[in-house]
Amino acid sequence: MSQRFGRDPEYTRGGGGNSSVKAGGVVYIKPSGVPLATLEADWHAVYPVDKPFSVHLAPYADEDPWEPAIEDRWGRPGRELTDRAQVWDLEATYLAQALRSFTYVVAPQRIVIGGGVMQQPGLIELVRVKLGEQLGGYATSEIRAGNLDDYVVAPEFGQDAGLIGAIALAMQAYEAG
């Protein structure tokens, strides 16, 4: 369906766009940067709606996917821009946009967001504020109640979450035999 509408100029003025569908207990999400007109079925991200899942944006443990974008946008890495409020206001807006999409499409019970950029003091709180503004009351009753402190959270184990998670998976695999 995405491909059909993506090829029709009456529906799509640009080459991109977002699409997702829930069917048979699964959410299929179109990846960013893929034109609708050329989208293939097996390119969708696939998430069962009845199981917890994680979206991991960085392909390598030492890579923060937001850092190159920040440096490209501002001319310096984020760690050199800690005192510039306008940088973090814009980055929080972008992060909130992504979380808003996850909220509308997947309706998670909680969003855990971490990584190097999230070490910026006050950023997670600013993301919560921006997300609340962007949702505009269109979400589950718990989220509409306005307490995003329990909805958007930092990893319980902080910067060690990936390592601890890997150890937990290894232990599960070992116990499973």
**Ordered per-residue pLDDT tens for the chain, 177 residues:** 556 655 665 555 444 455 666 677 776 666 655 666 666 766 666 666 665 555 544 433 444 555 677 888 888 888 889 899 999 999 999 899 888 888 887 778 888 888 878 888 999 999 999 998 888 777 665 665 567 898 999 988 887 877 888 888 899 999 998
d(Cα 162, Cα 177) in Å, to the nearest integer?
Answer: 23
Read off the pTM: 0.61
Query: How high is the pLDDT of residue 88?
Result: 92
Query: How high is the pLDDT of residue 56?
Result: 45
Query: How high is the pLDDT of residue 5?
Result: 56
d(Cα 21, Cα 69) in Å, to the nearest integer?
Answer: 29
Cα dihedral sign for 131, 132, 134, 139?
positive
Render the burial of 57-96: b for 16+ CB within 10 Å, e for the rest.
Answer: eeeeeeebebbeebeeebeeebeebeeeeebbeebbeebb
Show the tokens assigned to 154: 């930092």
Query: How high is the pLDDT of residue 83?
Result: 92
SS3 of 55, please? Answer: coil
Render the burial of 140-174: b for 16+ CB within 10 Å, e for the rest.
Answer: eeebeeeebeebbebbeeeeeebeeeeeeeeeeee
d(Cα 102, Cα 112) in Å, to the nearest integer?
Answer: 12
Q: Which domains, ranges and CATH numbers included, belong to the chain?
A: 2-48 (no CATH), 66-176 (3.30.420.40)
Query: How high is the pLDDT of residue 60?
Result: 37
d(Cα 31, Cα 39) in Å, to the nearest integer?
Answer: 9
